Chains A and B, each alone.
Chain A
């Protein structure tokens, strides 16, 4: 390679590195603050992990623990106190229940819909599809209030149903899967029909396995959106702390004036974020492997 090319490549990498830093910096701050003591956080000192001096934490003592219990290193304190102050495992479990239920029901609805829209000929198909596209344009916040009123009328506020039901029909999912199903050759479906499969069997036994890559892409959208959603749970979960999802849980740490403790707060945020990152890394690998349609031609 010539020097000129090196410089050209160098520019590209420099820009990409700057972009990466901008994206990574909040995560760096989050992890760093979850390890440091309150003084170090407020004085912006101590680098990544701080001095880690063993100390007694006043907020802890104020909460009612003995001084002995409250004496430890900052990183231990931050994570211990985060779990002590709020039932984080419970929040995480709620998050898993809600996001998984939403995703599974979304798939159960979206796949047959997408199959019908992509591969079956029926009167009014184009109209139905244009309605799907139209629904993509409706912002969630626009219909939040009517939805809330309806749930309240049905007596479902403060239940898992309130968290799950409004999201079970994903027009985005229908649209995405429909676009993918359009690329599946008709002959494969005809072959399945000749073999004796019914239309539902075709959806689950032929279309689903070929659609794994698209489904994973949709899974990432869906799970990330609902795991991180703060707006909707905040509306429908009014009192019952047992139903808090992770983002609602984090809010617990936004305490009074004297107890604004960033260390335990950031520790809880790290705990809430890690499952998503791990899930994404696993899914990404499957993404690339994804079953291809190479067997077709």
Chain B
């Protein structure tokens, strides 16, 4: 079992409030990502779960047991750190053994030399060795066991750090931006490896990252945090398609969602630039933000009441897609439009283009940044 419940967690350092009354229920075997811009309190939340930090108020429950007063080492959680935090003076084998030795040996058996006289130590050493070997085979680090962390590459250290967390078979893994020290290619590769590892271990993963791509690719659910508040907790697809607020919409998705300023008239008809949306807003007579993702805009030859025009300021070719950064005619907006290379390869910087939108994809937000629904009618 590995359920974790956070109930009304608040944390402040002095007068600065970093976490604001958070409630999260993490299911057994789930891959939950805490994602948010740096400084949003996600690492603090993870440290509170781990027991390395004490919450100002609220309860942490692991497997329905309140662990507020339980020390980090007794919560049976394992943590992987951004800098890996391997013991620099110990070999990889000893690094992996350390958590097991501390858990399995008693105080007498840990003593140097005379500890060896304990009758039960041999058996325990045997089982520790087996666990270390098993883990190092899973992670393919068997040939590194006799090296020191200083002699390993970033990716290898990452694996060893994972291994040190795995050997103990904890109820949940906590990971604090474990991939951010790796180079781009390795990071993408490790994403899939982590997902596979999660599938085979079936243990709860709580994963902290500022990279929304990692959150979208790996998690079963993601929790978007901004400024110490939990804004949305849902599956990646749902968070992407149905963001609860403007901040979430802007944070999730790369390139960023395009935001247009518009209005809803008394009948709820939403208009921005020269365009009117077919669907009606549930809030009328108000200013609105209309969000449209780059892939929901198209470059077109048509020119009618549903299109608007602009000048290409910058063309970002990613091979599979080309993103056009377009300055809208009236100068109000700079937007990003996705184009497929086979249709748009001839468009260059400075070209004038017409843009139309894919219908039924716009998202409405009110002045306060909260989501506004369309009426069903």
Task: Known contacts A196-B99, A292-B150, A295-B150; decide if A188 and B73 are in contact (CB<8 Å).
Answer: no
Whole-angstrom CA separation of A244 from B138 in the bound complex: 63
> Nearest B residue to A184 by beta-carbon distance?
B88
Q: Any chain A CB within 8 A of the CB of B374?
A: no
Nearest chain B residue, comparing its CB with the CB of A206? B87
For chain A, give the interface size range: 20 to 34
B149 at the interface (CB under 8 A from A): yes
Q: Is the CB of B149 within 8 A of A295?
A: yes
**Contacting pair A295 B88 (CB below 8 A):** yes
Is A194 in contact with B83, judged by CB distance below 8 angstroms? no
Q: Collect the chain B residues with CB atoms within 8 Å of residue A193's CB.
A: 52, 72-73
| B79 on interface, CB distance cutoff 8 Å | yes
Give the interface centre of B47, B52, B85, B98 by most chain A CB atoms within 10 Å.
B85
* B285 in the interface (beta carbon within 8 A): no
Interface string of A191-202 (1 = CB under 8 A from B): 111111100010
Residue of A whose beta carbon sits closest to that of B82:
A187
Chain B residues with CB under 8 A of A293: 88
**What separation, in Å, do the CA atoms of A1 and B72 have in the docked complex?**
62
Q: Within 8 Å of chain A (Cβ to Cβ): is B157?
A: yes
Give the residue name and chain of the A residue nearest to B176 (CB): A187
- Tell me whether B65 is interfacial, beta carbon within 8 Å: no
> Which one, A194, A206, A210, A296, contacts B78 given CB within 8 A?
A194
Closest chain B residue, CB of each to CB of A201: B102
Q: Is the CB of B79 within 8 A of A188?
A: no
Within 8 A of B (CB), among A164-208: 185, 187-188, 190-197, 201, 206
Complex Cα–Cα for A111 and B81 (A): 25
Give Cα distance in the complex from A297 to B84, angstroms.
7
In angstroms, how far is the closest chain A Cβ from the Cβ of B182?
Answer: 12
| Contact partners of B82 in chain A: CB under 8 A | 187
Q: Are A190 and B88 in contact (CB under 8 A)?
A: no
Cβ-based interface call for B181 (8 A): yes
State in angstroms the CA–CA spacing of A185 and B84 once bound together. 11
Q: Are A292 and B77 in contact, with the CB atoms below 8 A?
A: no
Give the residues in chain B near A201, CB-CB below 8 Å. Answer: 102
A291 within 8 A of B: yes
Whether A210 contacts B83 in the complex (CB less than 8 A), given A193-B72, A195-B99, comes out as no
List the B side residues contacting A296 at CB < 8 Å: 83-86, 88, 149
Q: A42: CB under 8 A from chain B?
A: no
Report which residue of B74, B83, B90, B149 has the largest number of chain A beta carbons within 10 angstroms of its beta carbon.
B83
- Residues of chain A within 8 A of B89, CB atoms compared: 209-210, 291
The answer to whether A197 touches B85, judged by C-beta atoms less than 8 angstroms apart, is no
B345 near A: Cβ within 8 Å? no
Residue pair A190, B73 in contact (C-beta under 8 Å):
no
Minimal Cβ-Cβ distance residue in A for B90: A209
Q: Is B297 an interface residue (CB 8 A)?
A: no
Q: Does A43 reach chain B (CB closer than 8 Å)?
A: no
- Interface flag for A294 (CB, 8 Å): yes
Chain A residues, Cβ within 8 Å of B77: 194
Q: Using Cβ atoms and an 8 Å threshold, which residues of chain B touch A194?
A: 50, 52, 72-73, 77-79, 99
Q: Are A190 and B84 in contact (CB under 8 A)?
A: no
User: By the criterion CB–CB under 8 Å, are B86 and A196 in contact?
Assistant: no
- Return chain B residues, CB-CB under 8 Å to A185: 83, 85
Q: Which of A190, A210, A297 has the largest number of chain B CB atoms within 10 A?
A: A190
Beta-carbon nearest neighbor of B147 in chain A: A295
Q: How far is the CB of B99 from chain A (nearest CB, A)?
A: 4
CB–CB B81/A187 < 8 A: yes
Given the complex, which residues of A lie within 8 Å of B78, measured CB to CB?
A: 194
In the complex, which residue of chain B has the Cβ closest to the Cβ of A185?
A: B83
**Contact mask for chain B residues 160-177; partner A; CB cutoff 8 A; 1 contact, 0 none:** 000010000000000000
* Residues of A close to B86: CB separation below 8 A: 191, 295-296
B77, closest chain A residue (CB)? A194
Asked whether B157 lies within 8 Å of A295 as measured between CB atoms, the reply is yes
Residues of B within 8 A of A195 (CB): 73, 98-99, 102, 164
Nearest-CB distance from B207 to chain A (Å)?
16
Which of the listed residues B73, B88, B152, B164 has the most CB atoms from chain A within 10 Å of its own CB?
B88
Q: Does B202 contact A (CB under 8 A)?
A: no
Task: Tell me whether A294 and B150 are in contact (CB under 8 A).
Answer: yes
Q: Which residues of B contact A210 (CB under 8 A)?
A: 88-89
What separation, in Å, do the CA atoms of A190 and B84 have in the docked complex?
11
Cα-based distance from A193 to B74 in the complex (angstroms): 10
A297 touches which one: B52, B73, B83 (CB < 8 A)? B83
Contacts of A295 in B (CB 8 A): 86-88, 148-150, 152, 157
B275 CB to nearest A CB, Å = 51
Residues of B within 8 Å of A196, CB to CB, are 73-74, 99, 102-103
Known: A190-B85, A193-B72, A194-B79. A297 touches B181 (CB 8 A): yes
Does B102 lie within 8 Å of A190, measured CB to CB?
no
| A194, A197, A292 pick with most chain B CB within 10 angstroms | A194
Interface string of B8-41 (1 = CB under 8 A from A): 0000000000000000000000000000000000
Chain A residues within 8 Å of B85, by CB: 185, 187-188, 190-191, 296
Closest to A190 in B: B52
B203: min CB distance to chain A, Å: 15
Give B contacts to A, CB under 8 Å: 47, 50, 52, 72-74, 77-79, 81-90, 98-99, 102-103, 148-150, 152, 157, 164, 181
6 contacts between A and B (CB under 8 A): A187-B85, A190-B81, A196-B102, A210-B88, A294-B150, A295-B157
**Interface residues, chain A, CB within 8 Å of chain B?**
185, 187-188, 190-197, 201, 206, 209-210, 291-297
**Sample of 5 further A-B pairs with CB below 8 A, known A193-B73, A295-B152:** A197-B73, A292-B150, A294-B150, A295-B88, A295-B157
